[in-house]
C-alpha cells in the first residue's frame, strides 16, 4: 500500500543488515514514500563485511533488553517490566559492536528472548549500539575489554521514547576496582586516593567524548561543571589507565 517506509536489507553472508541508503541504525535510515501509481528504484550500499573472529579471543559482551513503563527509567530508578511472564519477545532487534579507534563494525548479535551475547572478541574499546525499528537510541555505551576484564554485561531499557542504558545494572567498572572515587553520586567534586596525587583524570560521556581533563590536586577533582548524568572516569598513571564510573547529580 502507499505510504512512507524504511527499507532494510539482510544479506545471508557476513555483511550486516543495512538500511537505505547505507546505515545499520533505524534512526539513520532515509524514509521512502510510495504511491499506488509510482515505481521507485533504489540502491543500497551495504556496509563492510564483518571480520572473522578468532576462537582464541575470550572477550564477551552480553546483556538484556528490558521493557519499562514510560517515561524512560532514569538513574537509580527501579526497572518495571510490563505485562506478565512470559514477556513478549522483542522482534527485529540487533546489537552492534564497533571499535572506537577506527569505527569498524566487529560483531552483530540478534536479540533472543530479551537477551544478547557477542563472543570471541579481541581486547579493545568498543561502542555498543542497539537497532530497534521505531525506537531511537538515546544513549550509547562505551566498554573496554582487557585481559583482566574479559566479560562485560551491559543491559538496556526500552521505553516509549527510546532506548537507554540500564544504569542500575548495566555497566561494570572497566578496569581495576582499586581505583574508586567518592562521593559517588557526586555534585561538586570527587575525592581520590592519595596515591593518585598529580595523575590526570578524564571524565568522558558514554559516546567517548572527553568533557573534563584535570590533574588530581589535594586528593580531589572538581566535577561541578559536568551536566547530570553517567560518566566514565579514566585515571592515567605512568603504568596504565584505570576506569570507573561516576554518577553526577
**Which residues in the chain belong to E strands, given as ranges?**
3-5, 8-9, 18-19, 32-34, 59-67, 94-99, 105-110, 115-121, 124-131, 141-145, 151-153, 156-159, 162-165, 181-182, 189-192, 200-204, 210-215, 220-222, 229-236, 241-248
Closest CA to 120 of 101, 99, 106, 141: 106
- Residue 238's pLDDT is 79
pLDDT, one tens digit per residue, over 15-68 is: 778 888 888 888 778 888 878 777 778 888 877 777 788 888 989 999 888 887
User: If 0-12 CB within 10 Å is exposed, 13-18 middle and 19+ buried, where does residue 97 land?
Assistant: buried
pLDDT confidence bin for 73, thresholds 50/70/90: very low
**What CATH code would you report for 59-165?**
2.60.40.10
Question: What are the sequence ranges of the domains in the chain?
Answer: 1-49, 59-165, 181-248
Give the other-Cβ count within 10 Å of 160's Cβ: 11
CA distance 201 to 243: 10
Tell me if the domain spanning 181-248 has CATH number 2.60.40: yes
- Residue 201's pLDDT is 94
Instruction: Note the pTM of the prediction, 2 decimals.
Output: 0.58
- Residue 213's pLDDT is 93
- Residue 13's pLDDT is 64
pLDDT, one tens digit per residue, over 145-204 is: 988 888 888 888 888 777 888 753 334 443 334 577 888 888 999 998 878 889 999 998
Decide whether 59-165 matches 181-248 in CATH topology: yes
The share of the chain scoring above pLDDT 90, in percent, equals: 15
pLDDT confidence bin for 119, thresholds 50/70/90: very high
Mean pLDDT on 106-127: 87
Amino acid at each position: 500500500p502507499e505510504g512512507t517506509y524504511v527499507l532494510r536489507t539482510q544479506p545471508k553472508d557476513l555483511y550486516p543488515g543495512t538500511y537505505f541508503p547505507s546505515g545499520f541504525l533505524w534512526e539513520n535510515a532515509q524514509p521512502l514514500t510510495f504511491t499506488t501509481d509510482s515505481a521507485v528504484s533504489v540502491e543500497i550500499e551495504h556496509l563492510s563485511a564483518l571480520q572473522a573472529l578468532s576462537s582464541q579471543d575470550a572477550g564477551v559482551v552480553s546483556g538484556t533488553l528490558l521493557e519499562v513503563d514510560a517515561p524512560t527509567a532514569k538513574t537509580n530508578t527501579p526497572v518495571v517490566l510490563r505485562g506478565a511472564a512470559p514477556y513478549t519477545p522483542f522482534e527485529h532487534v540487533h546489537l552492534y559492536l564497533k571499535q572506537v579507534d577506527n569505527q569498524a563494525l566487529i560483531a552483530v548479535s540478534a536479540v533472543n528472548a530479551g537477551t544478547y551475547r557477542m563472543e570471541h572478541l579481541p581486547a579493545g574499546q568498543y561502542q555498543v549500539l542497539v537497532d530497534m525499528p521505531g525506537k531511537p537510541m538515546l544513549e550509547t555505551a562505551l566498554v573496554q575489554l582487557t585481559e583482566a576484564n574479559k566479560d562485560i554485561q551491559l543491559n538496556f531499557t526500552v521505553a516509549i521514547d527510546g532506548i537507554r542504558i540500564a544504569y542500575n545494572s548495566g555497566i561494570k567498572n572497566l578496569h581495576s576496582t582499586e581505583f574508586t572515587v567518592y562521593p559517588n553520586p557526586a555534585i561538586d567534586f570527587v575525592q581520590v586516593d592519595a596515591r593518585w596525587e598529580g595523575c590526570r583524570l578524564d571524565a568522558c560521556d558514554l559516546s567517548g567524548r572527553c568533557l573534563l581533563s584535570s590533574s588530581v590536586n589535594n586528593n580531589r577533582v572538581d566535577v561541578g561543571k559536568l551536566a547530570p548524568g553517567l560518566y566514565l572516569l579514566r585515571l592515567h598513571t605512568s603504568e596504565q589507565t584505570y576506569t570507573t564510573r561516576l554518577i553526577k547529580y
